[in-house]
Amino acid sequence: MEGFAGKVAVVTGAGSGIGQALAIELGRSGAAVAISDVDTEGLAVTEERLKAIGASVKADRLDVTEREAFQAYADAVVEHFGKVNQVYNNAGIAYVGDVEVMPFKDIERVMDVDFWGVVNGTKVFLPHLIASGDGHVINVSSLFGIFSVPGQSAYNSAKFAVRGFTEALRQEMIANGHPVKVTAVHPGGIKTAIMRNATAAEGVDKEGLTKTFDQRLTITTPEKAAREILTAVRKNKARVLVGPDAKILDILVRLTGSGYQRLFTTAVSRLVPNAH
């Protein structure tokens, strides 16, 4: 497979899970990598692993919701490496709770990280990506950006919004003749810390839910997910469904239209009784 030698890639949320695996796979493919996270301990692990494989790496603490800091970060990355080719807006959080009981602040927090974090990362790097002459924005949505499930309205909203934003951006780049490719990423269940790191509305059995998620709903490793994502990037795919569950459920939703909601209301309640 074609490598990324000579390319500069930015990965947010690179201290764990998919972001960590992406950063390492990019480093292995020859890219110089700018990694960031709010979790500096996890980030240090990623940095060490990148250094161990001889990759050029710049590691910084960055909260993707802090727009001014993000702008300053983009400028610093370009100053450090001279350019930026790829931006993986990957940082994200999960939250579980029904609309009825969910405080506004929790919905806003999920939108801030999962949607606005992606918008911030795209906007601050876009001029640099255009200037590079060979840019690519990779925005991580979710399978939950393709269909909704009970107990996930905040996350569903943010991930649907990422999909809308990303699909419009891809068309704009083509229409405006800019040298920037755009890919929306929709992972199914990936074996990461996302549910362990998640928060939940009062009354939700978070521990039980984490156990169900880890044992029954995740089938793809972050490393496999990263390889699938990078294959899609190499092929300039508009959309990548990551993992077999994502591919199958996407077809099911397309076949049933809004009818999937009836199926999922029953299925999710049986499979994840502690989700809401």
Q: Which residues contact 250 (CB under 8 A, 6 or more apart)?
A: 143, 146, 186, 241
Q: How far is the CB of 163 from ligand NAD (least distance, A)?
A: 11
Contact 34, 77 (CB under 8 A): yes
Interface residue with ligand NAD, options 32, 124, 140, 201 (CB under 6 A): 140
H or E element in which residue 10 lies: strand 8-11
Quick check: 113 binds ligand NAD (CB under 6 A)? yes
189 lines the binding site for ligand NAD (CB under 6 A): yes
As beta bridge partners, residue 190 has 220
Judged by beta carbon, residue 78 or residue 114, the one nearer ligand NAD is 114
Q: Which of 45, 76, 111, 193 forms a contact with ligand NAD (CB under 6 A)?
A: 193
Phi, psi of 8 (to 5 degrees): -115, 125
Contacts of 248 (CB under 8 A, 6+ apart): none
Q: How many residues bind ligand NAD (CB under 6 A)?
A: 32
Residue 196 CB, nearest approach to ligand NAD (Å): 8
Interaction between residue 132 and ligand NAD (CB under 6 A) = no
What residues from 89 to 108 belong to the interface with ligand NAD (CB under 6 A)? 90-93
151 binds ligand NAD (CB under 6 A): no
Establish if 42 lies at the interface with ligand NAD (CB under 6 A): yes
Which amino acid type is present at position 269? S
- For 186, the token pair is 């929709």
- Give CA 23 to chain center in angstroms: 13
Q: Which of 86, 120, 142, 152 binds ligand NAD (CB under 6 A)?
A: 142
By CB under 6 A, name the one of 10, 19, 24, 86 that touches ligand NAD. Answer: 19
Which amino acid makes up residue 126? L
Q: Shortest approach of ligand NAD to residue 40 CB, angstroms? A: 9
Q: Taking a C-beta distance cutoff of 8 angstroms, is the pair 243, 187 a contact?
A: yes
Q: Least separation, in Å, of the C-beta of 176 and ligand NAD? A: 27
Q: Which is nearer to ligand NAD, 132 or 198 (CB)?
A: 198
Stretch that binds ligand NAD, among 60-68, 74-82, 146-154, 248-256 (CB under 6 A): 60-68
CB–CB of 204/151 below 8 Å?
yes
**Which candidate, 200, 183, 223, places its Cα nearest to that of 272?**
200
